[in-house]
């Protein structure tokens, strides 16, 4: 069963002091409003065999056939019934989140978010991570910032790479995390994007230190693990 809860206000306030704003906001899409069905035009020549450009005796006129009216009515009906493709924010209520340490790169973990909702959702900025009761917010890897927001269609997945600790042992405050909370940002930097997710960690926990960093949300798994 997927678990989720909101991040503390204190964490979001701390994030606001350190996070970098970017222009990855998105615009909602909306379907065009259908036009009215075409009005019936009285034909000037109802005779069989007349072409659409004039009457059978050669006089000019306007002709609207039953097939043409039926086609236009069908198109208008489809336009009215077509759904509006409105994107929402990805968060713990409409996704499943997994967190798995990887053998390479060394000391890295991969976050995977899969859209389980019925609408496209936006993974904005980068995940807000917290191990156990950690009181500081890991910073993003700025070089990983994508040119556009990562949008997931229903069933699609997005990724973020986590650099857990320094390979050369230069990090401080090394400890093992037993619980991970993944927070989501909203349309503006450091805003609340909705319920958090709590993905399962290995039974032995995950080691991290003061160099803990995370990439922005990306569409490609290899890209997420390249930092």
Q: What is the pLDDT of residues 176-220, one digit of tens each?
A: 999 999 999 999 999 999 999 999 999 999 999 999 999 999 999
24-62 pLDDT, tens digit per residue, is 433 333 333 333 333 333 333 333 333 434 444 444 444
149-187 pLDDT, tens digit per residue, is 999 999 999 999 999 999 998 999 999 999 999 999 999
Cα Rg of the chain, angstroms: 28
Q: What is the mean pLDDT of the chain?
A: 75
Distance CA 138, CA 83 (A): 39
Per-residue pLDDT at 67: 52
Per-residue pLDDT at 86: 87
Per-residue pLDDT at 62: 42
45-104 pLDDT, tens digit per residue, is 333 333 434 444 444 444 444 454 444 444 434 333 334 358 999 999 999 999 999 999
Maximal C-alpha separation, the chain: 96
What is the DSSP code string of 1-41? -----PPPHHHHHHHHHH----S-------PPPPPPPPPP-
The CA distances from residue 81 to 32, 34, 63, 87, 120, in Å, are: 12, 10, 29, 18, 19
Per-residue pLDDT at 181: 98
Distance CA 3, CA 197 (A): 6
Q: Is the pLDDT of residue 106 over 70?
A: yes
Mean pLDDT across 107-112: 98
Distance CA 87, CA 122 (A): 7
Distance CA 42, CA 61 (A): 10
For the whole prediction, is pTM greater than 0.75?
Answer: no
Distance CA 148, CA 206 (A): 31
Per-residue pLDDT at 35: 36
The CA distances from residue 132 to 10, 23, 182, 208, 211, in Å, are: 15, 31, 11, 12, 17
The answer to whether 129 touches 180, Cβ cutoff 8 Å, is yes
What is the DSSP code string of 192-216? B-S--B-----TT-EEE-TT-EEPP
């Amino acid at each position: 069963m997927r678990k989720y809860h909101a991040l503390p206000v204190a964490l979001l306030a701390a994030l606001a002091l350190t996070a970098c704003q970017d222009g990855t906001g998105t615009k909602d899409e909306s379907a065009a409003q259908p036009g009215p069905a075409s009005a019936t035009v009285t034909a000037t020549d109802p005779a069989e065999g007349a072409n659409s450009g004039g009457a059978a005796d050669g006089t000019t006129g306007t002709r609207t056939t039953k097939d043409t009216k039926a086609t236009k009515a069908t198109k208008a009906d489809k336009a009215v019934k077509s759904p509006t493709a409105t994107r929402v924010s990805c968060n713990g209520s409409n996704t499943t989140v997994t967190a798995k340490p990887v053998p390479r790169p060394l000391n890295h973990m991969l976050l995977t978010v899969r859209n389980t909702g019925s609408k496209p959702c936006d993974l904005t900025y980068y995940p807000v991570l917290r191990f156990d009761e950690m009181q500081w917010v890991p910073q993003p890897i700025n070089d990983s910032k994508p040119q556009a927001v990562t949008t997931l269609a229903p069933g699609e997945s997005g990724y973020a790479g986590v650099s857990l600790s320094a390979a050369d042992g230069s990090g401080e405050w090394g400890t093992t995390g037993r619980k991970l909370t993944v927070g989501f940002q909203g349309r503006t930097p450091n805003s609340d994007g909705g319920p958090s997710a709590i993905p399962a960690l290995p039974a032995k926990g995950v080691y991290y230190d003061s160099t803990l960093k995370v990439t922005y949300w990306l569409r490609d798994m290899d890209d997420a693990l390249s930092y």
